[in-house]
Structure 1
Amino acid sequence: MSRRLEGTCQQRRPPGFLRPDSNRPWRERERPPSTIGYGSAKRDYDDKDGSQGRDCGEQSKRSRRDSDSGQWYSSPDQITWREGQVPNQSNGRDVGGLGRSHGDWSDSTCRSTVSFRSTEPKMNEGRGRRDRAQGQGGRSFRGGGRRNGATGMRRRGPDFRPCKTVGELADLARFSLDSMSHRDIAAFWSLLPRLLHQRSSVPDPTLEENLRCVISTTCNRMRSFRCRDLTQTSLGIAKTISQVRRGHQQCRANDPLQITGGLLLSDSRHFVIFDVIGRSAVSMLESFDARHLSNLVFSFGLVNRNPDIGDDTLFNVVGSAAAKIMQTFDPQDIANMLLAYVYVGAKNSSLFRKIRETILGTDLGIFEGQALANIVWSFSKSGEADREMFNHIGDHIVARSLYDFLPQEMSIIVWAYANGRVSHHALFDRVGFHVTRLVSSYSFKPQELSNIAWAFATAGESHPVLFEKIGDYVAALGSLNSFKPQELSNISWAFSAAGVSHAELFEKIAYHIAGLDCLDSFKPQELANTVHAFCNAVRPHPALFDKIGHYIAGLCSFNLFQPQNLSNIAWAFATAGESHPALFEKIGDYIAGLDSLDS
C-alpha cells in the first residue's frame, strides 16, 4: 500500500444504462432505504451512516422490522449474527503487491479520458427529516457555499444515482476515473453495497476488471482523503465486505458478490486497506466530528479489524479522542461507537465510563428504542454493565410507552439486563405483560422469542402468563424450520429453568429435532442444553434422545465438547432413563484416553 499501483487500464465505451431502483443492505441501522441510489458527488452533506443524503427523507417511511440483527442486535451468549472471526494481523504487504487471485490490482492503473457531468440538486432537494431537524440543509455546493465564478460552473464527475446494478456502477466509475473527485469515490463505495444483490439478466464479463480498477484508484488516493470522504469510503467498503461474507460462498462464479469477495477478501486484502484507512484517520483525528468518528470506528467493527497504530491500537487512540468530545455525540453515535468496540473485542473502560456519565446526565427521551437496546447490549456484552446506568435506563423505559419499542428491541433490552446480572423487576414486569398482549397479533421472529424466554428464565423473573403465551405461539406454528438450533435449545432450556412444563411446546420441538436429517448444525452446548432441558422438564421423548445419542456416538472426535457438555449429556440420559450404550461407551473411552482430568 506504500507505493502507487502502476500500469494502464484501457478505457472502453460504457453500455447504455437502465435506470435504477437500488437494493439496500439488510442492516437497519446501516441503511436509509430509497428507490434512488446514493452517489451524486455534488452535495456537501451526508446521512448519519456517512452516505450521501439523497434519500434520507425516506427513513420515516421504512418499516423498522426489516432489520435482522441485529443490525445491530446480537443474541444470547453463543449467538453470533455476524460472520467471521477476529482476523489475524496483516502481513504488512502493500496493496500493490497483493496476490493475484481474481487478478492483481497492481496490473493496471485505471485511466479514462471520458467524463460525465452530474445534475446539480436544488437547494435542500432530497433532504430528509434528520438533516432538516439538525439545521444542516441549505448547501448544495461542495466545499460549502458559492465561490468566485461558481455560478455557472460545475465540477466534472459521474452521477451514480441512475445505476441499477453493480455492473452499471462499476462501468461508469471506471470510465470516469480521471474526473472523479474524492467525494465521487466515496459516493461509489456508499452505493456499491446497496446494489450487490441486484442481478443483471446478462453477466458482465468486464465487471471484475472494472471493480479492480476502482479499488486500485481508491487505494492510491485514499491517503489524501479528508475525514468525511475517508469515513464514507471506509463505511461503504465495510458494508460491502459484510454482505460479501454473508452470501458469496453460495453464489455463481460470475455473481457480483463472488467477484467482489474475490477482489476484497482474497489474501486478506481488506486488512491492508483498513490498516491504511486507520493510519490516515489517526493523522487527522482532531478534524473528525462525533458523527464521522463514530461511523469510522463502526466500519472497523463491521470487518473485525483493530489495527496497530505505533505502540497502541486504533480503538485505543480513537477512544481517547471520542472521550474528549463525548458531549457532542448523539444517541446513534454513542450506540455505534459501543457496538464497534464489542464487535472487535476491544476493551476501553475509560471510554465506557465517559459514555455512562453522558447517559446519566442526558434526557433519555431523545433516545430511540434501537439506540437504548444497542447501548445496554454493548455494556452487558462487554462486561461493563453498570447498575446505576441500567437502573436509570430501566426507569425511563418503564415510564415510557412500550409501543415506542419493536419486539426485537425489547428482547435485546431484557437479554442485556439478564446477561449483565442487573435486576429490574418493574422493567421485566412491564415488558412481560406487553409481550403477552402482542404475541397473539404480532409475528414474532424466533430470536425475539428465544431472547425473551432466556432473559426471563436467567433473571429469575417469574411470569407464567408470558411463558404460556410463548409456548402456545411456538406450538401452533406449522413448522419450526425458521428456528436455528440455538433458538430451539434456548427456548427449551428457558422453559425448563423457569419450571414451566408446556407439553405441546416440548413435543413440537422434540419431533422437529428428531425429524432432521442431520444434527451437524447443532453445537455441543446446544445438544447438551436440549437433552438437559427435556430431562428437567420431565418430558421424555425417546426419539429425540435416540437421535441425539446416535449423532454424538458417531462423532469422530469430542474435541469441540467442553467437560460440562459431556457431563450434562451423560446426566440427562441417565436421569431420563434413556439407555444408549454406544453413547456412554464413546464418552467413557474419550475420558479414559485423556492425559489429565484437571480440566
Structure 2
Amino acid sequence: RAEAMDPITERLVDDAFRESLNAWDVSNIAWGLAQLQVRDEAVLEAVAQAAARLAPGLTTQGIGNTAWAFATLGTEHLELMEALASQAMRSDVLPRFKPQELSNVAWAFATLGTQNEALMAALAEHILEANMLHRFKAQELSSTAWAFASMGISDPALMRGLSTAAIEPDTGRRFSAQSIANLAWAFAMLGIPDVTLLETLSARMMRYDTIHSAKPQEVSSLAWAFAHLGVRDAKLLNALAERMISRNVIKQATAPTMANMAWAFATLRVPHEALMRVLARRVMLPDVMADLESQHLVNIAWAYATLELRHVPLMMALADQAMERHMLPTFTPQGLSSLCWAFAKLNIHHQLLMSTLAREVMQKRVLTELTAQGVANLFWAYAKLRFRSQKLLGCLMGRIMQPGMLDTLTPQGTANVIWAFAKLEVYNAEVMATLSEHVVRTAWLFGAQGVANIAWAFASLATRDDALMSALASRSRDVDVLEAFTAQGLAVTSW
C-alpha cells in the first residue's frame, strides 16, 4: 500500500541514506514507487539523481525496470534517461538484454518522448543481429513496434522482422486486443501497408475471446490504423463497430477514442448507422463534450458530413462547443476550414457559428497558414450556405492570389472557388482573369463536374472569356469527360 511507503519515502530524501544504496537497490525502489503510483516530486527527483549516479552499475534488468518505472509515473528526468541510455549501449551490456528488458527500455523512452536515436538504433541493430525476435512475446513485439513508431523512427529491417515474427502462428495465439491494436497502429503511423500482417491481425481480433475483451481505445486504434492505411476490411470494421456500441464499452469511450472511431469509418466510407448514432448520443453528454479538443471536434463533424449523416442535434452541440472562448484559438487553419465544410456539406445553417469562424479565419495566424485547398473549402462552404461577408471574401481572395497558391490547388478546388464567386454573385476582374488563365493551362485535369461548374460560373457572372470557353469545350469532348457528364452537367455546360 502507498501509505506503507511513507517512512521509506521520507528516508529517500535523506542524502546520507541514498549514499548507502547500490544500483540494484535504487532500481528496485523505482520499480516499487511505480507499482504503488507514488508521485511525490521530491522523492522522484532524489531517486532519479541516485539512479543516474549509479547507472554504470545497473544490470540490463535494472536499466529496464528503472526506465519503465519513470515512464509509468510520467516523470522525465533527462540526466537519468541519458545515463540509462549510455549504460544500455555499452558493448558489454547490450548483448545481455532479454526481450522484455529491451522492449521496456524502448517503450519507456517513447512514452516519455525522450528522443535518443543512438539508443534506438543500437536496440534495433542488436535485436536483428542477435536474431532475438523469435523469442519475443506478443506484448514485446507490439511494445517495440509502438515505441519506434511513436518516436517516428522507421527502421525497415526491424519492422519487417517484427511483422514476420508477429505473423507466426505460435506467436499469434498469445496476442491480446491491446497487442493487436498497438502493432497495427505502429505500422500505420510509419505508413507501412503490410497487407499480410493486417490480414493476420484482423483475423486474430475477430476471435470471440479477443474481440469481446477489447477496450474502447483498442477498438478505435485498430479502426484508425486500417483507415490510415486505406484498408477497407468490412468484416473487421463491422466487428469493431458492434464491440464499440455494446453497453459496457461505449460508456467507457473517451472523446478522442470516439473521434478516431468516427474518423476511421468516414475515411473508409463505411456508413455504420448504428455506430454513428451511438457515438453521437455519447458525444453529446455534457461531460464528454467538455473533454473534446478542437481536433476531436473537427474530426467528428467531418466524419458525419463525409458520411452524409445529418445529425442536427449533434452538429448544434458541436457548434456551441466550438464557439467556447477557450476553444477558438486552438483550432488549426485546416480545422477551421474542415468545420465550415462539414456544416455546409450537411446544409446546416448556423449563422452565429459561421460568423464566429469567419472572424477567426481572418486572424493573421490563420490566414497566413491556410493552404490553397483550405481556402477553396472555405469559399465553397460559405457559398453553399449563402453566407456573404465582403471582408472574409476579400481576405480569402488575397490569400488564394498569393504566388504559387493556385499551383497547389486541386482541379476540384479551383472549380469550387470559381463556383463560389458565382454563387455569391461576387466579381473581381483581376481574380477571375487569373483563375481563367490557370484553368486554361490545366484544362486537361478537370473532370465533367469541374467543367460544368466553371462554365456555369463564368456564364452566371456574364463574363465572356473565349480562351477559357474554348479550353472547356475541348476538354468536354474528351471521351473520359463526355462519358462522365450527368444530364444536368451536360445541360449546364451547353447553357
2:383 corresponds to 1:496: yes
2:214 corresponds to 1:329: yes
Which protein has the larger Cα radius of gyration, Structure 1 or Structure 2? 2
Instruction: Give the equivalent residue in structure 2 for 1:218.
Output: 127
**Distance verdict in 2 for CA 1:472–1:518, change over 3 Å:** closer
Report which of the two has the higher share of helix.
2
CA deviation vs aligned residue, 1:186-206 (integer Å, no higher than 9, x gap)? 24543666899969xxxxxxx
Matches within 5 A, 1:155-174: 158=63, 169=85, 172-173=88-89
- Gaps spanning 5+ residues in structure 1: where? 1-115, 133-152, 200-206, 245-260
1:235 to 146, 156, 172: 146
2:27 to 119, 125, 132: 119
Partners of 2:294 and 2:327 within 8 A in 1:
no
**Distance verdict in 2 for CA 1:485–1:388, change over 3 Å:** same
2:237 corresponds to 1:320: no
Partners of 1:376 and 1:416 within 8 A in 2:
yes
Partners of 2:448 and 2:482 within 8 A in 1:
no
2:262 corresponds to 1:376: yes
In 2, the alpha carbon distance for the partners of 1:440 and 1:497 equals: 25
In 2, the alpha carbon distance for the partners of 1:478 and 1:308 equals: 41
Partners of 1:439 and 1:473 within 8 A in 2:
no
Instruction: Give the equivalent residue in structure 1 for 2:160.
Output: 272
Matches within 5 A, 1:143-292: 158=63, 169=85, 172-173=88-89, 175=91, 176-190=93-107, 214-219=123-128, 220-240=131-151, 243=152, 264=155, 269=157, 272-280=160-168, 282-292=169-179
Partners of 1:542 and 1:578 within 8 A in 2:
no
In 2, the alpha carbon distance for the partners of 1:128 and 1:524 equals: 58
In 1, the alpha carbon distance for the partners of 2:239 and 2:178 equals: 17
Instruction: Give the equivalent residue in structure 2 for 1:415.
Output: 302
Instruction: Give the equivalent residue in structure 2 for 1:19.
Output: none
In 1, the alpha carbon distance for the partners of 2:247 and 2:338 equals: 28
- Gaps spanning 5+ residues in structure 2: where? 1-22, 40-57, 68-76, 485-495
Partners of 1:158 and 1:180 within 8 A in 2:
no
Structure having greater relative contact order (Cα 8 Å, sep ≥ 6): 1
In 2, the alpha carbon distance for the partners of 1:567 and 1:164 equals: 64
Once the 2 structures are TM-superposed, how far is the Cα of residue 171 of structure 1 from its aligned partner? 8.9
**Distance verdict in 2 for CA 1:535–1:189, change over 3 Å:** farther
Once the 2 structures are TM-superposed, how far is the Cα of residue 513 of structure 1 from its aligned partner? 1.1
CA deviation vs aligned residue, 1:494-521 (integer Å, no higher than 9, x gap)? 1111121122111110011112344332
In 1, the alpha carbon distance for the partners of 2:158 and 2:473 equals: 46
In 2, the alpha carbon distance for the partners of 1:578 and 1:169 equals: 68
Secondary structure, counterpart of 2:212 in structure 1? helix
Instruction: Give the equivalent residue in structure 2 for 1:15.
Output: none
Once the 2 structures are TM-superposed, how far is the Cα of residue 230 of structure 1 from its aligned partner? 0.6
Instruction: Give the equivalent residue in structure 2 for 1:389.
Output: 275
CA deviation vs aligned residue, 1:3-32 (integer Å, no higher than 9, x gap)? xxxxxxxxxxxxxxxxxxxxxxxxxxxxxx
In 2, the alpha carbon distance for the partners of 1:482 and 1:415 equals: 20
Once the 2 structures are TM-superposed, how far is the Cα of residue 369 of structure 1 from its aligned partner? 0.8
In 2, the alpha carbon distance for the partners of 1:430 and 1:239 equals: 33
Once the 2 structures are TM-superposed, how far is the Cα of residue 592 of structure 1 from its aligned partner? 5.1
Once the 2 structures are TM-superposed, how far is the Cα of residue 271 of structure 1 from its aligned partner? 6.4
Secondary structure, counterpart of 2:297 in structure 1? helix
Once the 2 structures are TM-superposed, how far is the Cα of residue 308 of structure 1 from its aligned partner? 5.1
Once the 2 structures are TM-superposed, how far is the Cα of residue 540 of structure 1 from its aligned partner? 1.8
In 1, the alpha carbon distance for the partners of 2:304 and 2:36 equals: 35
Partners of 2:451 and 2:476 within 8 A in 1:
no
Secondary structure, counterpart of 2:203 in structure 1? helix
In 2, the alpha carbon distance for the partners of 1:164 and 1:217 equals: 22
- Normalised by the size of structure 2, how large is the TM-score? 0.74
In 2, the alpha carbon distance for the partners of 1:374 and 1:523 equals: 26
In 1, the alpha carbon distance for the partners of 2:97 and 2:365 equals: 54
**Distance verdict in 2 for CA 1:426–1:591, change over 3 Å:** closer
2:230 to 345, 349, 361: 345
How many residues in Structure 1 have an aligned counterpart in Structure 2? 427
Instruction: Give the equivalent residue in structure 2 for 1:445.
Output: 332
The amino acid across from 1:380 in the alignment is A
CA deviation vs aligned residue, 1:25-76 (integer Å, no higher than 9, x gap)? xxxxxxxxxxxxxxxxxxxxxxxxxxxxxxxxxxxxxxxxxxxxxxxxxxxx
In 1, the alpha carbon distance for the partners of 2:112 and 2:286 equals: 38
**Distance verdict in 2 for CA 1:186–1:424, change over 3 Å:** same
